[in-house]
Amino acid sequence: MKRLPSIGLSLMNRRIALGFIVAVVLIASGFAISFYSYTQYGEDVQRVRRTYEVTGALENILSSVKDVETGARGYVITNDTMYLAPYRMALRRLPGEIEQLRLITTDNKVQIQRRVLLEQLIKDKIAATQVRIGIRPFDKRSLAVSAEGKHRMDLLRTHVALMVDTERTFMEIRNRQADRSFRNTLVIICALSLLTFITLAISYRLLHQELAHRQETEDQLLAFDSQLREQIRQLEASNEELERFAFVASHDLQEPLRKIQSFSNLITDRYVNLFDEDSMLFMGKISNSAERMSKLIKDLLNFSRISSHREDFRSVSLNEIVQCILDDQELRIKGLDVRVDVSGLPVIEGISSQMNHLFSNLISNALKFIRPDVQPLLRIQAKAIDGEAYADLISGRPYVEITIEDNGIGFEEKYLDHIFKVFQRLHGKSTFEGTGIGLAVCKRVVMYHHGYITARSKPNEGTIFIVVLPESQSLQYYDRPTSEAYSYPAS
């Protein structure tokens, strides 16, 4: 059975595949966007943390500078070296704190410039403080140095406050960016998740429809298969009944025909002197008609036996089959001066009796339909082929192509479909003898052997019958053609 293309099923399959591809793309996009958002959010959090670190470093530096200022003032007022302890400790801390600030302010050019200025202000403040420590309280320069120290401290406080405000501004901007990025990511992920869910739902619905459709189709096919098997069984039973009827009827018809022939011959022999010319003509027609009817019945019996008699396939030498037929036709071949050319024929799996019917009919046709004044030719050849050479055969299976060629009267190929049917004749009974069953027998034999038969011909140029048979019969019983196989078209 050949499978028919289904555009609807193919379109449905493509839609399902497209739906799952879109779902996979959406899921992958969601993962990619989530990963990007997570990375971006981590970077924003890192920037905010750095802002806190810069603010803390600035406050530590300012605290240390205040310690320097407080310690120096206490020492100047009391002249007690105890106040120089926080002063000296702050001086030791400042280089490390300045270095830490230098490390965490590398991503902003404005803050880098301000950090450089801050370092210079700290140096100036420390220098002014050291000068103040070295001056006595009643020195006339003390007020001027104190005023200068206070001025530098005010500049330092103002500069640190500016840097802290800048960092806080950056922190607010980065917090807003992080929040906006997080919200956008959530919206995109939710949208992608919704689209993925919708796509998967649509794909699931399409898949469910596809599975339901396939189940329905499978159920229909099973129902059709069951119905077809039942019809085949009924048809085979009907054919068997018809074949048995034909077989029995043919046997029953033989008896009266034999009596007609016997009594006709007896009357002719006994009363030949009493019959005139017309009477002898009538008796001859009776005998010829009875003989032709007998041949027709025998051919019908042979035709019915092909499918009614089940035999096992065995190795058959086609060369021996053909040679036996040629030996039987030896006198006829010599009388017609036929030029015979038979190449080496192979051994195949088949039924010997049916092969005998096949080649006997084909060879008889070649010897029957000859042209006057032309030496008859009978050429039989064989070659191995693959099943793909013919559309009705199984591709990849080994076959044997046998050609039976003659140079007889030929026929128009438009009648090719008719010559393999029962009782189909291209010539009248008076022109060429025959019953019109021989080629139908050939077709039935070939189909029973899972082969193929056709012909090529032109009027007055001869005919080539082509018989293709498998080398071995390996098909299951239910794959074999039933008794109606002979009614299939010949090409």
Task: Tell me the C-alpha distance between 404 and 362, whole Å.
Answer: 7
Residue 176 falls inside a structural domain: yes
155, 184, 209 - which closes a domain: 209
- Residue 258: pLDDT band (50, 70, 90) is confident
Q: What does the pLDDT read at residue 5?
A: 44
Q: Which residues contact 62 (CB under 8 A, 6 or more apart)?
A: 156, 157, 160
- Residue 1: pLDDT band (50, 70, 90) is very low
Residue 177 falls inside a structural domain: yes
Task: Tell me the C-alpha distance between 8 and 291, whole Å.
Answer: 63
Neighbours of 121 (CB within 10 A): 20
Q: Where are the alpha helices (DSSP H) in 271-342?
A: 277-308, 318-328, 330-336
Predicted confidence (pLDDT) at residue 484 exceeds the cutoff of 60: no
For residue 289, the one-letter residue type is S
- Residue 138: pLDDT band (50, 70, 90) is low
Task: Tell me the C-alpha distance between 414 and 391, whole Å.
Answer: 20
- Residue 436: pLDDT band (50, 70, 90) is low
Considering only CA atoms, which of 361, 331, 373 is closest in space to residue 437? Answer: 361
Q: What does the pLDDT read at residue 468?
A: 92
Token pair recorded at residue 5? 């293309």
Residue 229 falls inside a structural domain: no
pTM of structure: 0.45
Predicted confidence (pLDDT) at residue 483 exceeds the cutoff of 60: no
Residue 272 falls inside a structural domain: no
177, 209, 241 - which closes a domain: 209
Count of structural domains within the chain: 2
Q: What DSSP character marks residue 216?
A: H
- Residue 479: pLDDT band (50, 70, 90) is very low
Predicted confidence (pLDDT) at residue 488 exceeds the cutoff of 50: no
Paired residues of 260 in beta bridges: none
Predicted confidence (pLDDT) at residue 261 exceeds the cutoff of 80: no
* Higher per-residue confidence, 156 vs 271: 156
Q: What does the pLDDT read at residue 435?
A: 58
Predicted confidence (pLDDT) at residue 157 exceeds the cutoff of 80: yes
Residue 470, class by beta-carbon neighbours within 10 Å (0-12 exposed, 13-18 middle, 19+ buried)?
buried
Task: Tell me the C-alpha distance between 201 and 360, whole Å.
Answer: 70
Same domain, 52 and 187: yes
Q: What does the pLDDT read at residue 199?
A: 80
* Per-residue pLDDT tens digits for 91-102: 888 888 888 888
192, 209, 226 - which closes a domain: 209
Predicted confidence (pLDDT) at residue 3 exceeds the cutoff of 60: no
* Higher per-residue confidence, 132 vs 95: 95
Q: How would you classify the pairing of strands 377-386 and 398-406?
A: antiparallel
CA atoms within 13 A on the CB side of 40: 17
Same domain, 331 and 192: no
Q: What does the pLDDT read at residue 485?
A: 38
Residue 416, class by beta-carbon neighbours within 10 Å (0-12 exposed, 13-18 middle, 19+ buried)?
middle
436-463: average pLDDT: 84
Residue 79 falls inside a structural domain: yes
Predicted confidence (pLDDT) at residue 481 exceeds the cutoff of 70: no
Task: Tell me the C-alpha distance between 483 and 421, whole Å.
Answer: 14
Predicted confidence (pLDDT) at residue 482 exceeds the cutoff of 70: no
Same domain, 203 and 321: no
Predicted confidence (pLDDT) at residue 463 exceeds the cutoff of 60: yes
Q: Which long-range contacts (CB under 8 A, 24 or more apart) does 452-458 make?
A: 452/390, 452/392, 452/393, 453/420, 453/490, 454/416, 454/490, 454/491, 455/413, 455/416, 455/419, 455/490, 456/413, 457/410, 457/411, 457/412, 457/413, 458/410, 458/413
Q: Is there a contact between 451 and 467 (Cβ–Cβ < 8 Å)? A: yes
27-38: average pLDDT: 75
Q: Which residues contact 133 (CB under 8 A, 6 or more apart)?
A: 72, 75, 76, 84, 87
Residue reference for tokens 């008796």: 283
Q: Is there a contact between 185 and 34 (Cβ–Cβ < 8 Å)? A: yes
306-316: average pLDDT: 71
Q: What does the pLDDT read at residue 139?
A: 64
Residue 155 falls inside a structural domain: yes
CATH code at 364?
3.30.565.10
Residue 84 falls inside a structural domain: yes
Residue 466 falls inside a structural domain: yes
Residue reference for tokens 């500069």: 159
Q: How far apart are the first and last CA of the chain?
A: 18
Residue-range definition of the domain harbouring residue 481: 312-491
Task: Tell me the C-alpha distance between 344 and 220, whole Å.
Answer: 51
Predicted confidence (pLDDT) at residue 148 exceeds the cutoff of 70: yes
* Per-residue pLDDT tens digits for 63-91: 888 888 888 777 777 777 787 888 788 88
Quick one: angle between helices 142-270 and 7-78, nearest 10?
170
How confident is the prediction for the chain on average, in pLDDT? Answer: 78
Q: What does the pLDDT read at residue 144?
A: 77
- Residue 301: pLDDT band (50, 70, 90) is low
Same domain, 368 and 491: yes
CATH code at 63?
1.20.120.1730
Q: What does the pLDDT read at residue 424?
A: 57
Task: Tell me the C-alpha distance between 224 and 357, whole Å.
Answer: 37
* Higher per-residue confidence, 287 vs 222: 222
Token pair recorded at residue 200? 């998967």
